[in-house]
Structure 1
Amino acid sequence: MRICYVAINASDLKGSTVADYLVSIEASLKVVDGSDVIYQEPYFPVAELARELARWVLLGEKRAPDFVFASLSFEEPGAVRILRSGAGWTVGSMFTPETRSSLISWDELAAHIDDFVTNVRRDVHALGISPGFIDS
């Protein structure tokens, strides 16, 4: 399972508040499991997802509830969902409820989340924006 993206941009950024950054830094997002596409979205708020995933993964496996992404950009929560399932976790989306990733361990999931968050921080910085708001 991987959360990846291309074409990060801030072309819709009009203000300088944290909320402005969270909803305006977008990219074409794809959640994949092997060769299967679990979910994809062309204008996804990747900075907001990175911020929420970074906070969630810090809870650790024992304390972490199911992750249901509640975005300022979507009317309903669940564009990305990470659900505890038996001895592991699955990743999916409310937009594609019939498709989920295979079972993944917490350690592997946390490593993929860390990679995603690190990449978003790097690419936000490359846009000329300090990525500190992702950690605030």
Structure 2
Amino acid sequence: MLYRDFNANDLRGSTVADYLVNIEAFFEVVDGREVIYSEPCFPVAELARELARWLQLGESRAPDFHFSSLSFEDPGAVVILRGESGWTVGSMFTPEVKTAPIPWDGLVTCKGDFISDVWRDVQGLGISPDFLDP
């Protein structure tokens, strides 16, 4: 998961919901050079928070992940699915493509880096990232 053009341009309030929905970036799920899914104004802070909550469950207790966002009508803008060979990442918006399977520890590293980057960038906006804590 990659993002760029991190911003809070539409942030008008100071509630947790305001932060989650209005801290956005150009977001992509990529596998090697293949773009699985991209979205220009994606709620990356909200995704980071939900991923942190999900990862805390651990592999044995983690169900398939379907990102449920205040910004999308239906869950699944980002999905992480358990398979026989590992976990794959994709989106309900591009169901025909998904990443190659990766083991749980690789998933934790990748998603942990994403969460840490979002935390750092929220702090860089002068906003306390405490609202990202699971």
Q: Which TM bucket (shorter chain)? A: over 0.9
**Quick one: which amino acid aligns to residue 127 of structure 2?**
I
Give the C-alpha shift of residue 118 in structure 1.
Answer: 0.1
Give the C-alpha shift of residue 11 in structure 1.
Answer: 0.7
Give the C-alpha shift of residue 101 in structure 1.
Answer: 0.3
In structure 2, the gaps of 5 or more residues are none
Map of 1:1-136 to 2, 5 A cutoff?
A: 3-136=1-134
| Structure 1 stretches of at least 4 aligned residues deviating more than 6 Å after TM superposition | none
Paired with 1:38 and 1:60, the residues of 2 have a C-alpha distance of: 25
Count of residue pairs brought into register by the alignment = 134
SS in 1 for 2:52: helix
Question: What is the percentage of aligned positions where both structures have the same residue?
Answer: 66
Measured against aligned partners, the alpha-carbon deviations of 1:12-45 in whole angstroms (never above 9, x if no partner) come to: 0011100000000000001100111010000000
Give the C-alpha shift of residue 113 in structure 1.
Answer: 0.5
RMSD of aligned alpha carbons: 0.6
**Quick one: which amino acid aligns to residue 130 of structure 2?**
G
**Quick one: which amino acid aligns to residue 20 of structure 2?**
L
Paired with 1:87 and 1:6, the residues of 2 have a C-alpha distance of: 30
**Quick one: which amino acid aligns to residue 122 of structure 2?**
V
Paired with 2:86 and 2:77, the residues of 1 have a C-alpha distance of: 20
Paired with 1:12 and 1:128, the residues of 2 have a C-alpha distance of: 15
**Quick one: which amino acid aligns to residue 44 of structure 2?**
V
Paired with 1:52 and 1:63, the residues of 2 have a C-alpha distance of: 15
Give the C-alpha shift of residue 87 in structure 1.
Answer: 3.2
Paired with 1:116 and 1:124, the residues of 2 have a C-alpha distance of: 12
**TM-score (structure 1 length as normaliser):** 0.97
**TM-score (structure 2 length as normaliser):** 0.98
**Quick one: which amino acid aligns to residue 38 of structure 1?**
I
Give the C-alpha shift of residue 127 in structure 1.
Answer: 0.6
Paired with 2:4 and 2:129, the residues of 1 have a C-alpha distance of: 17
SS in 2 for 1:115: helix
